[in-house]
Chains A and B, each alone.
Chain A
Amino acid sequence: DAGVIQSPRHEVTEMGQEVTLRCKPISGHDYLFWYRQTMMRGLELLIYFNNNVPIDDSGMPEDRFSAKMPNASFSTLKIQPSEPRDSAVYFCASSFAARETQYFGPGTRLLVL
């Protein structure tokens, strides 16, 4: 298995632009998680899905952030419009079951200028 796949690996954009991050979870995993990591705030859970359904989006910072999971093999995290404070590493992770081992993707390093 290729593991969790994320794209792009790096993204540099200007303030106000739309950013879309993509994730392909491990096949057969029912849970998908989006995290944001910064030096100041550590690893934060933004949202997670179970069988493609968003379960808890309480970690999404504000309405500029949205996430979708149209099918079991694909999810997106969108920021519109982006702001410099959104600069962070965004990780996608998947797991077979709730509270079980999470497998993280390589992350997307986002820089908003």
Chain B
Amino acid sequence: GQQVMQIPQYQHVQEGEDFTTYCNSSTTLSNIQWYKQRPGGHPVFLIQLVKSGEVKKQKRLTFQFGEAKKNSSLHITATQTTDVGTYFCAWGGSEKLVFGKGTKLTVNP
């Protein structure tokens, strides 16, 4: 069956450092979505990637979808304390999204 790994599980950075989380699949993905969950909050949609090699930016966040559509990354430039939370990738299954385990980001001010 389809295997998708999200790494790392945890990441601690100093404020101002960059951060990257990855989702890697054993099979081709039709699309991938990214969500952010603040501590004590609920997952909130960030973006969807559909095309091979697609790159999208939201301010300091850069999202990429691999050429083979088997991997994706979320990169944050110059992290801020407001970036803390857990970042999830999610991919389309038969009729539902499947969420990765998430990467929990903590930022030391």
Taking a contact as CB atoms under 8 Å apart, the answer to whether B88 and A43 are in contact is yes
| Docked pose: A93 CA to B71 CA in angstroms | 25
Partner-B contacts on A (CB < 8 A): 31, 33, 42-43, 45, 48, 50, 55-56, 91, 93, 98-99, 101-107
Q: What B residues does A101 contact at CB under 8 A?
A: 33, 45, 48
| Docked pose: A103 CA to B42 CA in angstroms | 9
Which listed residue (A42, A50, A93, A107) contacts B95, Cβ 8 A?
A50
Taking a contact as CB atoms under 8 Å apart, the answer to whether B42 and A106 are in contact is yes
Within 8 A of A (CB), among B60-109: 88, 90, 92-93, 95-99, 101-102
Minimum CB–CB distance for A88 against chain B, Å = 13
Taking a contact as CB atoms under 8 Å apart, the answer to whether A99 and B43 are in contact is no
Partner-A contacts on B (CB < 8 A): 30-31, 33, 41-45, 48, 88, 90, 92-93, 95-99, 101-102
A interface: dominant SS: strand
Taking a contact as CB atoms under 8 Å apart, the answer to whether A103 and B45 are in contact is yes
Taking a contact as CB atoms under 8 Å apart, the answer to whether B96 and A107 are in contact is no
Taking a contact as CB atoms under 8 Å apart, the answer to whether B42 and A107 are in contact is yes
Q: What B residues does A103 contact at CB under 8 A?
A: 45
| Docked pose: A99 CA to B102 CA in angstroms | 18
Which listed residue (B43, B90, B95, B97) contacts A91, Cβ 8 A?
B43
CB pairs A–B below 8 angstroms (20 shown): A31-B96, A43-B99, A45-B98, A45-B99, A48-B95, A50-B95, A55-B95, A56-B95, A93-B43, A98-B92, A99-B31, A99-B92, A99-B93, A101-B33, A103-B45, A104-B42, A104-B43, A104-B44, A106-B41, A107-B42
Query: Quick one: closest B residue to A105, CB to CB?
Result: B42
Q: What B residues does A50 contact at CB under 8 A?
A: 95
Taking a contact as CB atoms under 8 Å apart, the answer to whether B45 and A102 are in contact is yes
| Docked pose: A107 CA to B102 CA in angstroms | 18
